Chains A and B, each alone.
Chain A
Amino acid sequence: MSLGTFHFVPVLLWTDALIFMLLTVALATVWWIRRHAHLRAPWAAVARRPMAMGAALVLAVFVIIGLLDSLHYRERLDASPPDRPQYSVEVLSVFDALAGRLRTQQEKTYSAPLAMHLYAKEFTERDGATVRDYPRLEYGGAHLKQADEYVPDIVRRVLVGLLQGLASSLLLFGLLAAWQARHRQMRVGSWLSAWETGHLGWPGRTVVIVLALMLMLGAVIARLAAGYHVFGTDKVGQDVLYISLKSIRTGLVIGTLTTLVTLPLAIVLGIAAGYFRGWVDDVIQYVYTVLNSIPGVLLIAAAVLIVQVAIEAHPDLFDTSAARADVRLLALCIIMGVTSWTSLARLLRGESLKLRTLDYVEAARAFGVSHARIISRHIFPNVFHLVLIAIVLDFSGLVLAEAVLSYVGVGVDPAMYSWGNMINGARLELAREPVVWWQLGAAFAFMFTLVLAANLFADGVRDAFDPRLEERQ
């Protein structure tokens, strides 16, 4: 078989497939929107808001990491014969390949951020005698011969990182200025002054500053990570920075795929209830009151427990542990979606009730236009902004919910990298002396950055799309 010559075999997990499907849909939507002036207008308004654009850049970084982490493969085992290749059971991603040593440089147990020594004392041989001391780390700071080289080395790395970041930002900025000036047919000088005074029509200053900050931060971290564990290591000695970055994908999957499940239910049922009224409305309202009345966590917990039982009952279905964890993640998304469509459905029902009485719907009815056409041409396009606002607003809530659910024990697979699992695992270590805080700190920091960026972006989207706000201004 020709595959035999490759060194890896691609693996398409369920969530990978869905993520790339979502990406395709998103890109197609962008293309569609670009071609329609009235659809483009509110997005242009979003693009003019500094806060939203800054947030979008941060989100983009998260999304890129998440996407890289969604291209999975399995490596060929070196020992296997080329004609009958065997592949490792470990599923890796392109991100892992890029992260390189971050993944493989594993210490024995906890170590503090940027530390040279392990967290716990151990008996070691020194000068022939056995002493109990903090042993040096295997990888973190291993290049240092003496302890007094430590501070200068850190400072040097930070400075170099800053400089590299600054240099690449300047380079990028120069390219941007040249391209923009050319594009707008103005001199670079006048573009610069327009940029400086904020008269570009888009928040140039914010974008450039956020970009520069991110580049510098990235460069510094990259420099430091080359020699140390920037956020320390966890109980089994794995790099916390690596775990945190790997958790991004989980957060994104939960935040987006859940909504993907929610949308069809909410849209179809919400619009149907509001448009048809009568018994259709009664039935749909009944269903969502029933679902709503069950406390959300309990419903999710019940469903997750059931899925867990099902997964455990059929171990033969999954060839790798990653596939199993992935199915559980997908199940979690589906369950959260099925339990959370009600609020959007209610909103859409109310809006459809209003829309159906509007004159343009009456006019369509006066022509005898069919229900399906009225819904697809008159109702749906006019509630779409609500759907969009719901998508962006729900995202951050879902990311936060993952942590809580994982704490309760009904979140993602315990073997999966996720901020919830990081928090759950590190919570008890707070009682230790000295405190092991870095794992928690990193998880919260990453989660906070993603959620804050999402919230700020959502604010921008809502302000641009909500017609009620428009009237008020």
Chain B
Amino acid sequence: MSPLLRVDRLVTGIGAARVVDGVSFDVAAGETYALLGESGCGKSMTALSLMRLLPDGGRILSGHVQLGETDVLALPERDMRRVRGGQMAMVFQEPMLALNPVIKVGDQIGEALSLHQGLNGQAARDAARALLDSVGVPDAARRLDSYPFELSGGLRQRMMIAMALAGEPSLLIADEPTTALDVTIQAQVLDVLRNLRAKRRMGMLLITHDLGVVAENADRVGVMYAGELLEEGARDAFFAAPQHPYSRMLFEALPRTGDAGRLTTIAGQVPRLDTQLRGCRFAPRCPFAIARCHAESPGWQELDGQRVRCHLAGSLPAGSVRERVTHPVAAHTPQPLLQVEGLKVHFPIRRGLIQRTVGHVRAVDDVDLTIQAGRTLALVGESGCGKTTVGKALLRLIEPTAGTIMLGGKAVPAKNMPTLRRQAQMVFQDPFSSLNPRMRVADILLEGMDALGVGARGERRGAVARLLDQVGLPDDAGGRYPHAFSGGQRQRIAIARALAVSPRLVICDEPTSALDVSVQAQILNLLKDLQADLGLAYLFITHNLAVVEYLAHDVAVMYLGRIVEQGQAGAVLRTPRHPYTQALVSAVPRIEPPAGQTVIRLAGDQPSPLNPPVGCHFHPRCPHASAVCRQTYPERTDLGGGHWVRCHWVAAQG
């Protein structure tokens, strides 16, 4: 049987760079083929080449793409339009940007329906509603008249999928369809895609950088690196024994359950594609590289049904090189470093003639936290639940509405900010917007010391050199500007900047979520080393539970401005008690599915903090909600060992 899609030695250039270089793979009907790789390695360009939707300046240089009976690259543009959306359709990463903001979603779907199925008017409307039903949009008829900005991220992505399905394509290309979404929503959307594929026997090309997503959704996997495919095989075989050094290192860079050892990192960076490349493209970063690797590009080799491009395929040492290390049990008595009680941040909403305050966004609503010296407290929750706001309120970058902040047992009054700021600093999520592009690295590091008067003036230059060394940057980095550094290096600079005033607490707001897995591993290792060396405490804000397990001692789970569960990391993540935490843990796509856990899928989205539901905020989505949950907010239920939850259901279990 011939496959649905056959890609043969596809080469695509943008300007001088060959961003896709000789990629070949097949996708069968009803099969999900996952294209895996770090950012910038050519996954999206491969997909856009198939659709012939390359950005300006992009050209397909050679190769062959066969979709069913059609030779896609040979079609005139006019016929290609019928293929787009009709035979292969595409779902993009960022649904807010990918939908036209000023056209109702119903009309955007209708456009595809009229184009590919000739449906118009009421018939199109009915068909669109049926599509929305099939992707699980509640209240479909009303939603057709919404504009994209009125929908939540998850709903928008469902609309995108419905639109892609409108032409009844035989191949669906999904380019990072869930990367911009929260885990709970990601789980919903992936479920929709899985069901649709099965029902319609579509082929699916799933592009992702997330090994967990691949493990749960793909039938076959292809690993891309620097424009080339490096390894290909059936999912189970691939996950059992990845053969290419790059694939292996990707696995080992991932933090894993119950393992607190150092993560494997991949040194260096993806090579620039606009230069002449000789030999194996991975050679400069490959720990196994031999002389031949630099001279000769490896060909494909078959290995038990897997295909690999590596000179040493088959002869590499089997299994993991990393030994497992469990979390050391905390030996010292916990010393509270920073305590907050009753922290509230309410943003007023003004309306009307005289801009009267008509309500408040309760971004943070009565939060108590204790951060112990030298330990890591992770704050987890869906985006928009108020995590960042907590972090900024602690540093008084946002003025809290209420609450006391105590440092080392003493309250910090508002006028004593310099003390607070010498003790606590922050590392931000986006390494590109967190460094001023017009300042030299040395000046960036000096800024805090100058402002807070840390150290003698003459010694600060020396301190800069020490800091650079501490975060693993070369000595000459101080004289350069941020644009000369990669994302991971920039994040190191940001960490060095925070460390410059020798704080005891560093608030890390999603410091690795903008980074690739291999770079994330470097940063996590660095954070861990710094904690060991300097006795730092971290407040680690994240939505990535795998990272939490790896790094954190304690976890606080936040939902809609409040903390719903808190305790030691192991306890909370392995035996979550709050229904929300359970759903969160269950939604994380895993490489090795944990045995004996039932899958919990949350329905719907997090409500707006403008008017949170009465009673337990979580009740509209909670599978265990009862009458009392709709009326009163639950009290704390202590579970021992510092583990507590706020849930009537848990309380009732005793």
Contacts and interface: CB of A to CB of B under 8 A. Distances in A.
Interface of A: 37-38, 358-360, 362-370, 373, 377-378, 381-382, 473
Given A37-B481, A38-B483, A369-B451, A363 B433 contact: no
B417 interface: yes
Contacts of B395: 366
Nearest to A37: B481
Closest 5 CB pairs of A and B: A359-B434, A381-B438, A359-B428, A367-B448, A367-B451
B481 A363 contact: no
Contacts of A367: 421, 425, 447-448, 451-452, 501
B422 to A, nearest CB: 9
B52 interface: no
B197 interface: no
Contact of A363 (B417, B434, B443): B434
Contacts of B425: 366-367
Contacts of A368: 417-418, 421, 451-452
29 contacts: A37-B481, A38-B437, A38-B438, A38-B483, A359-B429, A359-B434, A360-B434, A360-B436, A363-B428, A364-B451, A366-B395, A367-B421, A367-B425, A367-B448, A367-B451, A367-B452, A367-B501, A368-B417, A368-B418, A368-B421, A368-B451, A373-B451, A377-B436, A377-B439, A377-B443, A378-B439, A381-B436, A382-B438, A473-B57
Contacts of B452: 367-368
Contacts of B57: 473
Nearest to B480: A37
A373 B443 CA distance: 13
Query: Which one of A359, A362, A363, A366 has the highest number of Cβ atoms from chain B below 10 Å of its Cβ?
Result: A366
Interface in B50-72: 57
Nearest to B398: A362
A381 B447 CA distance: 16
A359 B428 CA distance: 7
B293 interface: no
Nearest to B449: A367
B418 A369 contact: no
Contact of A358 (B397, B433, B481): B433
A57 to B, nearest CB: 29
A382 B451 contact: no
Contacts of B433: 358-360
B368 interface: no
Interface string B305-333: 00000000000000000000000000000
B435 interface: yes
Given A368-B451, A368-B452, A363 B418 contact: no
Nearest to A41: B483
Query: Which one of A360, A369, A373, A381 has the highest number of Cβ atoms from chain B below 10 Å of its Cβ?
Result: A360
Interface string B578-621: 00000000000000000000000000000000000000000000
B497 interface: yes
B397 A365 contact: yes
A373 B450 CA distance: 11
B516 interface: no
A359 B451 contact: no
A302 to B, nearest CB: 35
A449 to B, nearest CB: 33
B111 interface: no
A360 to B, nearest CB: 4
B223 to A, nearest CB: 29
A378 B430 CA distance: 17
Contacts of A382: 436-438
Given A358-B433, A359-B428, A382-B436, A364 B481 contact: no
A368 B451 CA distance: 6
B647 to A, nearest CB: 35
Given A38-B437, A38-B438, A377-B439, A362 B397 contact: yes
B434 A38 contact: no
